[in-house]
A and B are shown apart, each in its own frame.
Chain A
């Protein structure tokens, strides 16, 4: 097992980077770019839900905030892409932090409902603040990115860009999880009172988790806006939040590589079953149920070294996810 694991990650990374040599198909690239965007979103929600045990159903709102912010600063203020990308992340992170304070008074399913409310507030604002957001028809003509004077236009370029972005976000979350703040978050998830009794500042860590999670969602949103060149409130509804949640569940709560794989599978899955026309969503739903039933620790659950403590923690979270 151990040997397989050390070998698997570099192999997967190599394959992902070498794909442009093998594939010329823009549709395949589009699916993979979308998978990359959702991988970032899923990793962010994973930090909240899988690691800190905070059930958020408002992730699509942060995604949308990033997208609208980035679109507006490039369209209205003429910012170049890179500063807009970074600023979207920071802005969304800031809003995430502001939202976190009141939201943290809520626990469990109440937090889920509160964040769901935030998602709806965001969508309705986007629909109604017409002068700013373009209303229900959205914003058109968002400029394509330009990096150091080199215009990004081809699908391959976007693909390479999202790989770099994904890798950076993965690295960031990996660092967080592998260090003492990450362990503090897991301690909070498993037992708040116990964590507090050993000196973990619960509010601080929870707010920080919210900030980092929404920061990454903002980055994903900004990239999405510039990739699609068009955004509308329909892109950031509650259904999006639920799909991101399904990706986290599929990949396994608290499992970072699992999040990436879960996102990739759930983006590619419905596309792969397109030949079944209207029935494809039936397949999508039933395979999700099967995975949750047969693999409650997610598709990569088998890869983890199992200590009794980790097992107990995971089962508890899986139980929450099911409810």
Chain B
């Protein structure tokens, strides 16, 4: 200890200089000039802004899996007209402030043709004006806010939006389960609230009574109080506007309370991680899948096989699947631009907007409408059973 203080005193004067030196060094390292490769072999770059550390890091890790498979596919075929495709990752922790910094960094990086991300609506919107000014595509493939693409014609959405998801979920609750009384539990975030609003609207229009709606915070871990309250109201079904981490906890604690009811959840719980976290407790959960299990397209079968071989897991989740599709959409837009002999940010935007009947995994085919959202989103009911998601068929 004494030595430490002596050392501190000895270097007190030069310390600020030293610190400034370290920061300066960091700044120098931060601006590496793009390596001028052979002109014809210069890679095609896309940026990825997402949560690779912090609370949502696990979703970012899923993205990386989807991207890696897409990159391997294209680059093993020799890339686009001989140019390899590469992605540049920047971590935003899906925090709006960092998303804006990354957007500034990406938009002045002339190598980047388009950007994938962000994970949350608020992080996406925080960056949108910056990408919009740079005329750069921001393909936010996870957020499902109905107005996500409102900030401008460079913002694209790949997930079926909340109104569509809620309609499908309400449909499952009513048509399949015949539920008359519904309780809603949701995350108190833009996502959770959108699920709640749309489910309440869809259910009420079909004459289902909403017995209660309960909000909880993303940091909540103990749901017993809420569950006890909901249990006392005896609903036929409970709808969740949650991610898989909280869904697993909620269903485990519901089992502890001996609260037997039918749980349904938004498609955000569709991940094998649900079973690792929730075990047997999540059996019987009904949700929607963006991809069709019952009759998988050849592309989906191929992707699932590659995914299982590579990551030793049974099936891909929504996040990896949408990441895979998102990158392939950008590659396709770049390929179309190259065909027309002009590859730049604007051509990628225009080609992406013109995407029509593009064979994909998270949907059978992808067509963007005038609002740069899915023209015909399809969702499929699935049920969690003994560690797997199975297509749900009415018993």
- List chain A positions with a Cβ less than 8 A from chain B: 25-27, 29-31, 34, 127-128, 130, 135-138, 140-141, 228-230, 232, 234-235, 265, 268-269, 271-275, 277-278, 280-281, 287, 291, 293-295, 299-300, 302
In the bound complex, residues from chain A placing their C-beta under 8 Å from that of B29 are 275
Partner pick for A274 among B30, B57, B121, CB 8 A cutoff: B30
Q: Which of A127, A136, A230, A300 contacts B129 (CB 8 A)?
A: A230
Q: A234-B95, A278-B52 are in contact. Are A228 and B190 (CB under 8 A)?
A: no
Q: A27 and B97 in contact (CB under 8 A), knowing A127-B188, A271-B30, A273-B26?
A: no
Lowest 10 CB-CB distances: which A-B pairs, in order? A272-B26, A137-B190, A232-B122, A30-B104, A136-B190, A278-B53, A27-B104, A294-B8, A27-B105, A136-B189
- Whether B15 and A26, one on each chain, are in contact in the complex, defined by CB atoms closer than 8 angstroms, is no
Listed by A's residue number, 9 A-B pairs whose Cβ atoms lie within 8 Å are A29-B104, A31-B104, A135-B193, A136-B189, A137-B122, A140-B151, A232-B122, A235-B97, A300-B16
Beyond A30-B100, A274-B30, is A293–B4 a contact (Cβ under 8 Å)? yes
Count of A-B residue pairs with CB < 8 Å: 116
Closest residue on chain A to residue B29 by CB atoms: A275
Does A299 contact B16, Cβ atoms closer than 8 Å? yes
Q: How far is the CA of A29 from the CA of B19 in the complex (A)?
A: 21
A232 neighbours in B (Cβ, 8 Å) = 96, 122, 125-126, 190
Q: Which residue of A lies closest to B54 (CB)?
A: A281
Distance, CA A280 to CA B358, complexed state (A):
39
Assembly CA distance A25 to B49 (angstroms): 20
Q: Does B145 contact A (CB under 8 A)?
A: yes
B interface: dominant SS: helix
Q: How far is the CB of A106 from chain B (nearest CB, A)?
A: 25
In chain B, what residue has the closest Cβ to A271? B101
The answer to whether B367 has its CB under 8 Å from any CB of chain A is: no
Q: Could you tell me if B121 and A137 are in contact, using CB atoms closer than 8 angstroms? A: yes
Nearest-CB residue, chain B, relative to A30: B104
Distance between Cα atoms of A271 and B89 in the complex (Å): 14
User: Do residues B101 and A138 form an inter-chain contact, with CB atoms below 8 A?
Assistant: no
Write the nearest CB–CB distance from B147 to chain A, whole angstroms. 8
Residues of A within 8 A of B95 (CB): 234
Residues of B within 8 Å of A130, CB to CB, are 193
Quick one: closest B residue to A227, CB to CB? B100
Whether B122 lies near A234 (C-beta < 8 A) is: yes
Q: Report how far A31 CA is from B191 CA in the complex, Å.
A: 29
Do B19 and A299 have beta carbons less than 8 Å apart? yes
The reply to whether A234 and B96 form a contact with Cβ atoms under 8 Å apart is yes
- A140-B151, A234-B96 given; A277·B89 CB < 8 A: yes
B122 A136 Cβ-Cβ under 8 A: yes
Residues of B within 8 A of A27 (CB): 101, 104-105, 108
B336 to chain A, nearest CB (A): 29
Is the pair B12, A295 in contact by a Cβ cutoff of 8 Å?
A: yes
B156 to chain A, nearest CB (A): 17
Given A137-B145, A275-B30, residue A293 in contact with residue B8 (CB < 8 A): yes
The listed residue with most A CB atoms (<10 A of its CB), out of B29, B89, B105, B107, is B105
Q: Complex Cα distance A120/B22, Å?
A: 36
The yes or no answer to B23 lying at the interface (CB within 8 A) is yes
Please tell me if the beta carbons of A272 and B30 are within 8 angstroms of each other in the complex: yes
Q: Do B15 and A274 touch (CB < 8 A)?
A: no
Contacts of B122 in A (CB 8 A): 136-138, 232, 234
Whether B128 lies near A230 (C-beta < 8 A) is yes
Q: Could you tell me which residues of chain B, from 175 to 199, have a CB within 8 Å of some CB in chain A?
A: 188-191, 193
Neighbouring B residues of A26 by C-beta, 8 Å: 104, 107-108
Q: Is the CB of A136 within 8 A of B193?
A: yes
B131-183 interface with A by 8 A CB criterion: 145, 150-151
B13 contacts partner chain A, Cβ-Cβ < 8 Å: yes
Chain B residues whose C-beta falls within 8 Å of the C-beta of A269 in the assembled complex: 23, 26
Q: Is the CB of B104 within 8 A of A302?
A: no
Q: Which residue of A lies closest to B11 (CB)?
A: A294
Measured between beta carbons, the chain B residues less than 8 angstroms from A273 are 26
The interface residues of chain A lying within 8 Å CB-to-CB of B209 are none
Residues on B with C-beta less than 8 A from A138 are 96, 122, 125, 190
Q: Could you say which residues of chain A place their CB within 8 Å of the CB of B145?
A: 137
| Distance between Cα atoms of A271 and B95 in the complex (Å) | 14
CB distance from A212 to the nearest CB of B (A): 25
